Structure 1
Amino acid sequence: MPPRRAGWSRRKRPGATRLLRVALPALLACAAGTAAAQPYQDLTHDSKVFGEKRHYRIFLPRGYETSTRSYPVIFYFHGHSDRYTLEKYDDGKDTVPKIAAFTASHEVIVVAADGYVARDYTGFYGGAPYDVKRDGGQYDYGEYFLELLRHIDSSFRTLPGRRYHATSGLSMGGFASLYLSARYPDLIGSASAFNPGPEFYVGEPGRRSLWRPKDQTSSHGHTMIRLIRASGDYISQYHEETRAAYAAAPEVDFEFRQDEYHRHWATSIGETFEFHVRAFQNPKLEAPPKQWNYSSAQRRFSVYGYSVSSGIEGAGLTFLRNVSPGGFGLRTRRWSPDGPAAACSSLTVLTAPLYRPNAPYQVADYKVESGTSTKTETRADAAGRVSIELDCGAHEVSLTGPGAELLPPSLLPLSELGPFRPMPGAPIHLPLHILNTRTAPLTNLSVELTSSYPTVQILKGTAARKTVGAGATADLSGELSVQFTAGAGDFARTRLDLALSFDGGQAKETFDVMVPPDPLPAPAEVVVLDGATRTFSVFRQTGNQGGGASIQRTVTEGAGNGNGRLEPGEAATIWVRLPQGLDPFDKNNWCRAKVYSSSRWLTEEDDIQEDKQREWTGAQNRTSLVRLSRKTPVEEKIPLILDCESWSFSFTPDVRFGAEPLYQAFQFHKHHLFEWNWATK
């Protein structure tokens, strides 16, 4: 057996583990006569997370009982209402035989995990697994997954290291595969998802955060990812949005497959497990990344040897970006991807043991909000780790000392609140700021802006600075100008490239912007709720075969004098009347808007998350509570983009996928964008 990876900790019970390793081969050999009829074992193990024995089904490769070889492992996660038996949807006639056939012909172990949460199930089958509801969190399924992984590694002959650990799953299990592999990228080398659920809640009880794979692709920068979609899957639009996000992430080793099939199902299990076999053969997955990004909804987490501990109050996520021996960027957000900084009492980053033990180091902390840089002296501990205290704002941190790499200048995000959204059709100056994280001045900086997109016209693409001070930024926002061209529809993701030359080297930065459509119409009618009560007609779907009608909804929202005008110091929601929503029956109904603004006087105070009517996906309708600063100047005008989402079940019974008719109505959604100007007068 190959040696275990250094530093990999396990919960070992020496006597029990040795007994199991000795007894299990004999037990399986005794069962060899029935292996053809039942090519798996249903077993249990003790879980501290759940406080009970947990079930799993294990498929062992042919010859495991008599060999001495060690094997890689694929952890498979079932969908809603199913369990580790994988039999709810098909009576065990499809998924189980396909997994058994694969392990019979490949040297791979497959473990079917159990997502069962008694509180959320009505019986052995029938419920929401993995504890991902908004009011959940009592059972951290991520911590449970670590228990299961350690149990499998200590009880069976498995190969050590992230390269040989994979996750896969269907629907909610596809979400679990993507979430767990993103949460533990140092343990999981490859992940696949069949028609994954688009979003669910993660984090501790009472402070759960909505987690969407399409917002967190950067956590998979060193993981092989594969998405599989059935063409007739009822939530295909969500799958396409997830696919587009991964396809646009150049750092992710990504592939996609679409199968012609009429149901929400795992359609190409054997071919997808071959993808994981390719990952098991990829030596690049063994080496730790030189630079990485990561996000977590937990107050405390460890990844790639780094440990972060925070006192974040309420829901919130912590983002680490461009982490290397030279430093890192840190952001917190109350919600992802565009929330404001979380509130916290403290935040501590303890680095991996990358530095010389007990050696002195200088830590430079650039605080993005204030544009100021501070320097402190510290020492690595006896293990070579450096502890850095921060607040919950936006930081760019660099280290100087033995083993700390000299960082190149870097481009700060164009917007600290989600993607930058430039208006099309007119020249604009991009708000570009280049940060010198060094403790010494940077000289001879020059930049060149380019884009491969035909919708981008670079009007002025070069700029230069003779000197950029230590811990300072070069403000290029008045120098580089572009013009975007857009069509009708939704926001269009557009990519630009920035080449940097400076004393001692070169670097390249890539960034995306979201360009609004053109034209951007005015809304038919707007109502502002600043502490007022109003009854609106809203659309209600009849069921999952289409149809619907208006119902009345009475709401009291915002905080102010209730006169229907957002005034300085007040908070409000903004409602828009849609002459026609996506559904044919959705006419002249109202919707609360998501609000986008680049004004420093207007802030999004809350991301209002509500279940979409009659959706089965867990997807949320996300809208805004905004607040206007008390310091807003008189006669100030603030341009806003209002985003209202409508949705519909689309059922076309005469449509076939291969020989099969459409099984379920598609769930579609559409964003309706409007331009609206707020003014004090």
Structure 2
Amino acid sequence: MKKIAIFIVLFPVLALSYNDESHYSECFGMTRYFRVFTPLNYDPKNVDKKYSVIYFFHGCGGSYRKNGPYTYQDFGLTPPKAENRPQDPDYDFPNNADFENEATSKDVIIIAVDGKIPGMTDCGVYFPHMMDNWKGNSFNFSIYIRELIDVVDTRYNTLVGPQHRAISGHSMGGQMATWVAATNPHLFSSASEFGYSPDYYKVGEPDYLTTIDIRQLWRNLRGIPFRHSTNTKDWLKYYTTQLYQTYLGGGFKNEFYMADFCMHHAARADLQFDFHKKHFSQPKQTVECFSFINLYPNFEIWGYKVSSDKKEKGWIYLHDVTKNGLGIYTRERLPWAKSLTNFDISVTSPPIYKPNQAYMLSRYSYKDGSITTAPIETNNEGRITIQSTGGLGEELGISGEGLQPPVIVLTDTINENLYLYKNSTKEFSFEVANLSATPQTVDFIVSTENKNLLKIIKQPKKVTIPALSKITIDSFFACKGTFLPNYQNTGFIKINLAINGVIQNREHYRKFVVKDFSKVVDSFKIKIFDGKTEELKLYQYKWNEWNNPFSSDFISEGSGNGNGKAELGEVFSIWIQTPSTIEDKDIASWHPVIPLNDRNNPDVLIDKIHERQMNTGRNCLSAQIRLNRAPTKSRPVRIPIQVEFLQAEPMDKDCHRNTADKFEYAYYDIILLPNGTCKLIKP
């Protein structure tokens, strides 16, 4: 009998690709979509095997199906291969194949969130109020993410809880991922952004449509490690670099990576997701003290529920929240302290107190400096509800059994930032309120993580503060600053308190800016706009105009008699003409300024901030200023100012755009004279 040999050739079995899902969103009032990338070995029937989840927000022109409107081939690039997956046309678009591979490599589920907004033109994502007179849904993604998390956890085998969630995004999605993380730091174990889009986007309903400056969100991020990634040839790379430096030392872990890549792209997603995987393996950070800003009238954070009658643009600001009290402020635009009008704000705590227990509530008013007390009682769950009226704000202390005495370092109600010139030692004074019913002897400890930038020269002395009183501590501490280039000139100091040898839970962070002495030339000129209009030469460019960035335009700012002089009762802006510190060709254009006054120099206040598009990344800011007093010959008004210089920096060996938006800040001191004109003070 003849034997027959049978040869079986085994081919690898290709797993299915991503899943596209939909759900009805109660938040948005419409069907929304998302794409799910699962590991190759994911088995929906194996409920014993569960996965951590990374939520990813795509960029401009993209959707849940693709990170942007372009393919890899559009820029001469080869698409990555999705290992052991059947070929799919969507793999030609970023970052689908990457996410297939990373889901398997990291053993996680990756959710591509849909930021596309029906009816929007241009980029068409996330921020509908980029369109003039938008009348539709305002798309609150900071609430929608909670709805989406519930849907994903219901449909997929996920590890439930904040330890097992991360959030990331690219470009405009990087901005949105940062915003969502900052409004929900209790929901994620870590957050990241790839080359975020840095413009000042407006968010909220028309009644309270508010400009987000993403650099100010450091206040919200305690308890959530953050990673920033950009590329060597990314035209937005300097903004990501600055954001990393802005957050560094702000009370949370902060990392940065520069990938070698030829364009604006979510490059080296493997490294970004390594960062998230590392934090999946660690317990979710909790916080004993936090601060938080939110533009919505009602929100929840770390178990605290806030409801209000807010109907105007700006922020509700919870400051240094601990079990023994908090600050409740309103601000139009940070770090400047112009407040909103008075309106009712209610803050309900988590159940962290004894049920049905009486406590003492003390209030310090920033409006008139008064301190008042009243009894307050918890409910049967152990929650306290505090009523406030917004405005400039107040500090609230809670005293009672088992609580630390509420001793509070007060904030600056003109400008929260602190400033000093490089290589100079400066002593800073602070105001402190003891909102307890007994005197408190306090040791203050001032520290910084930004040790290359700031050096604490002198620590505060021990001080006894009478009960229910506020004191000013002159020479509270002394600090020396070293100016570092490339946006490294900002950092933080942290103030801790010790009472009876016990370190208190409250931690007070203040942002520092170290200023360089900018070069002064004899041709330095100053113009004041107090309702007048004048044509000025500007350094500005739009898309594809970066090769010729000089043009003239009409400036019309301020409100007054229009005589070009700053006078009491007017609103005015200041523009200067001086050679740029980064662009050699820019020697005669005009630039708007921001005053850096604080409570120790309160002669001017910022009334509003005007934005002007002068490059393709982020608008420049022009402060609209009011005088608190008229200058005299013996007492002119001193105004320290910051100006932002721009450059369309050439890049070679790119595969997208041959210039990067670069910017740099310069600092000058000017004085306002009795005749209403300004004069430069030479250092």
* Fold in common (TM above 0.5): yes
1:331, distance to aligned residue in structure 2 (A): 2.6
- Is 1:68–2:47 an aligned residue pair? yes
Q: Hey, what's the Cα distance between the residues in 2 that align with 1:246 and 1:487?
A: 15
1:666, distance to aligned residue in structure 2 (A): 1.0
Aligned counterpart, 1:179: 179
Instruction: Tell me if the contact between 2:630 and 2:637 (Cα under 8 Å) persists in the aligned partners.
Output: no
**Aligned pairs, how many?**
632
Aligned counterpart, 2:640: 641
Over 3 Å counting, the alpha-carbon distance change for 1:357 and 1:196 in structure 2 is same
Over 3 Å counting, the alpha-carbon distance change for 1:672 and 1:448 in structure 2 is closer
Q: Hey, what's the Cα distance between the residues in 2 that align with 1:231 and 1:353?
A: 49
Q: Hey, what's the Cα distance between the residues in 1 that align with 2:277 and 2:485?
A: 43
Instruction: Tell me if the contact between 1:637 and 1:679 (Cα under 8 Å) persists in the aligned partners.
Output: yes
Identity rate, percent: 21
Q: What is the identity, as a one-letter code, of the residue corresponding to 2:160?
A: P
Over 3 Å counting, the alpha-carbon distance change for 1:323 and 1:665 in structure 2 is same
- Is 1:89–2:70 an aligned residue pair? yes
1:38, distance to aligned residue in structure 2 (A): 4.2
Q: Hey, what's the Cα distance between the residues in 2 that align with 1:486 and 1:278?
A: 34
Q: Hey, what's the Cα distance between the residues in 1 that align with 2:455 and 2:169?
A: 43
Instruction: Tell me if the contact between 2:44 and 2:156 (Cα under 8 Å) persists in the aligned partners.
Output: no
Aligned counterpart, 2:59: 79
Instruction: Tell me if the contact between 2:517 and 2:668 (Cα under 8 Å) persists in the aligned partners.
Output: no
The residue matched to 1:186 in structure 2 has which SS?
Answer: helix
Q: What is the identity, as a one-letter code, of the residue corresponding to 1:666?
A: A
Instruction: Tell me if the contact between 1:424 and 1:516 (Cα under 8 Å) persists in the aligned partners.
Output: yes
1:482, distance to aligned residue in structure 2 (A): 5.5
Over 3 Å counting, the alpha-carbon distance change for 1:295 and 1:448 in structure 2 is closer
Over 3 Å counting, the alpha-carbon distance change for 1:98 and 1:495 in structure 2 is closer
Over 3 Å counting, the alpha-carbon distance change for 1:476 and 1:424 in structure 2 is farther
Q: Hey, what's the Cα distance between the residues in 2 that align with 1:547 and 1:292?
A: 46
Q: Hey, what's the Cα distance between the residues in 2 that align with 1:151 and 1:260?
A: 37
The residue matched to 1:144 in structure 2 has which SS?
Answer: helix
Q: What is the identity, as a one-letter code, of the residue corresponding to 2:289?
A: Q
Q: Hey, what's the Cα distance between the residues in 2 that align with 1:375 and 1:642?
A: 40
Over 3 Å counting, the alpha-carbon distance change for 1:313 and 1:638 in structure 2 is farther
Aligned counterpart, 2:309: 311
Aligned counterpart, 2:86: none
Over 3 Å counting, the alpha-carbon distance change for 1:159 and 1:588 in structure 2 is same
Aligned counterpart, 2:471: 474
Instruction: Tell me if the contact between 1:211 and 1:336 (Cα under 8 Å) persists in the aligned partners.
Output: no
- Which is further off, 553-562 or 235-244? 553-562
The residue matched to 2:356 in structure 1 has which SS?
Answer: coil
1:253, distance to aligned residue in structure 2 (A): 2.4
Instruction: Tell me if the contact between 1:567 and 1:628 (Cα under 8 Å) persists in the aligned partners.
Output: yes
Q: Hey, what's the Cα distance between the residues in 2 that align with 1:192 and 1:483?
A: 32
Correspondences of 1:142-221 after superposition (within 5 Å): 142-199=142-199, 200-221=201-222
Q: What is the identity, as a one-letter code, of the residue corresponding to 1:374?
A: T
1:84, distance to aligned residue in structure 2 (A): 0.6
The residue matched to 1:128 in structure 2 has which SS?
Answer: coil
- Is 1:627–2:626 an aligned residue pair? yes
Instruction: Tell me if the contact between 1:463 and 1:476 (Cα under 8 Å) persists in the aligned partners.
Output: no
Q: Hey, what's the Cα distance between the residues in 2 that align with 1:35 and 1:121?
A: 42
Aligned counterpart, 1:30: none
The residue matched to 2:326 in structure 1 has which SS?
Answer: strand
Q: What is the identity, as a one-letter code, of the residue corresponding to 2:641?
A: L
The residue matched to 1:67 in structure 2 has which SS?
Answer: coil
The residue matched to 2:14 in structure 1 has which SS?
Answer: coil
After superposition, the C-alpha distances for 1:339-370 in whole angstroms (9 at most, x for unaligned) are 42222322221222222233222111122343
Aligned counterpart, 1:9: none
After superposition, the C-alpha distances for 1:32-68 in whole angstroms (9 at most, x for unaligned) are x999364111121112333321111112232323312
Instruction: Tell me if the contact between 1:488 and 1:517 (Cα under 8 Å) persists in the aligned partners.
Output: no
The residue matched to 1:477 in structure 2 has which SS?
Answer: strand
Q: Hey, what's the Cα distance between the residues in 2 that align with 1:35 and 1:594?
A: 62
Over 3 Å counting, the alpha-carbon distance change for 1:35 and 1:324 in structure 2 is farther
Q: Which consecutive unaligned segments of at least 5 residues does structure 2 have?
A: 1-10, 72-89, 676-683
Over 3 Å counting, the alpha-carbon distance change for 1:566 and 1:383 in structure 2 is same
Correspondences of 1:606-617 after superposition (within 5 Å): 606-613=608-615, 615=616, 617=617
1:237, distance to aligned residue in structure 2 (A): 0.7
Aligned counterpart, 2:365: 367
Over 3 Å counting, the alpha-carbon distance change for 1:34 and 1:141 in structure 2 is farther
Residue 660 of structure 2 is aligned with which of 666, 669, 681?
666
Q: What is the identity, as a one-letter code, of the residue corresponding to 1:225?
A: F
- Which is further off, 505-514 or 82-91? 505-514
Root-mean-square deviation over aligned CA pairs: 3.2
Over 3 Å counting, the alpha-carbon distance change for 1:143 and 1:356 in structure 2 is same
1:291, distance to aligned residue in structure 2 (A): 2.1
1:524, distance to aligned residue in structure 2 (A): 0.9
Q: Hey, what's the Cα distance between the residues in 2 that align with 1:295 and 1:280?
A: 26
Q: What is the identity, as a one-letter code, of the residue corresponding to 1:603?
A: L
Over 3 Å counting, the alpha-carbon distance change for 1:264 and 1:506 in structure 2 is same
Over 3 Å counting, the alpha-carbon distance change for 1:552 and 1:518 in structure 2 is closer
Over 3 Å counting, the alpha-carbon distance change for 1:456 and 1:611 in structure 2 is closer
Correspondences of 1:482-521 after superposition (within 5 Å): 492-493=489-490, 496=493, 500-506=497-503, 511-518=510-517, 521=520
1:324, distance to aligned residue in structure 2 (A): 1.9
After superposition, the C-alpha distances for 1:386-441 in whole angstroms (9 at most, x for unaligned) are 121223223221112355x2146343335651312235676644122233232211
Q: What is the identity, as a one-letter code, of the residue corresponding to 1:308?
A: V
Aligned counterpart, 1:26: none
Q: What is the identity, as a one-letter code, of the residue corresponding to 2:606?
A: E
Instruction: Tell me if the contact between 1:569 and 1:630 (Cα under 8 Å) persists in the aligned partners.
Output: no
Aligned counterpart, 1:604: 606
Instruction: Tell me if the contact between 2:18 and 2:37 (Cα under 8 Å) persists in the aligned partners.
Output: yes
Q: Hey, what's the Cα distance between the residues in 1 that align with 2:214 and 2:337?
A: 16
Q: What is the identity, as a one-letter code, of the residue corresponding to 2:336?
A: D
The residue matched to 1:118 in structure 2 has which SS?
Answer: coil
After superposition, the C-alpha distances for 1:96-150 in whole angstroms (9 at most, x for unaligned) are 122112323444221111101122246xxx5334546386672222222222222
Instruction: Tell me if the contact between 2:126 and 2:139 (Cα under 8 Å) persists in the aligned partners.
Output: no
1:503, distance to aligned residue in structure 2 (A): 3.3
1:381, distance to aligned residue in structure 2 (A): 2.3
The residue matched to 1:673 in structure 2 has which SS?
Answer: strand
Q: Hey, what's the Cα distance between the residues in 1 that align with 2:508 and 2:609?
A: 30
Correspondences of 1:181-580 after superposition (within 5 Å): 181-199=181-199, 200-249=201-250, 251-285=251-285, 288-392=286-390, 393-402=392-401, 405-407=403-405, 409-413=407-411, 416-423=414-421, 428-443=426-441, 445-447=442-444, 461-465=459-463, 467-478=464-475, 480=477, 492-493=489-490, 496=493, 500-506=497-503, 511-518=510-517, 521=520, 524-541=524-541, 543-544=543-544, 546-548=546-548, 550-580=550-580
Instruction: Tell me if the contact between 1:548 and 1:586 (Cα under 8 Å) persists in the aligned partners.
Output: no
Residue 55 of structure 1 is aligned with which of 9, 26, 33?
33
- Is 1:36–2:17 an aligned residue pair? no
- Which is further off, 570-579 or 366-375? 366-375
Instruction: Tell me if the contact between 1:520 and 1:675 (Cα under 8 Å) persists in the aligned partners.
Output: no
Over 3 Å counting, the alpha-carbon distance change for 1:475 and 1:192 in structure 2 is same
Over 3 Å counting, the alpha-carbon distance change for 1:446 and 1:153 in structure 2 is closer
1:672, distance to aligned residue in structure 2 (A): 3.2
- Is 1:128–2:106 an aligned residue pair? no
1:641, distance to aligned residue in structure 2 (A): 2.1
Over 3 Å counting, the alpha-carbon distance change for 1:340 and 1:280 in structure 2 is same
The residue matched to 1:593 in structure 2 has which SS?
Answer: strand
Q: Hey, what's the Cα distance between the residues in 2 that align with 1:209 and 1:254?
A: 26
Q: Hey, what's the Cα distance between the residues in 2 that align with 1:255 and 1:479?
A: 32
1:274, distance to aligned residue in structure 2 (A): 2.7
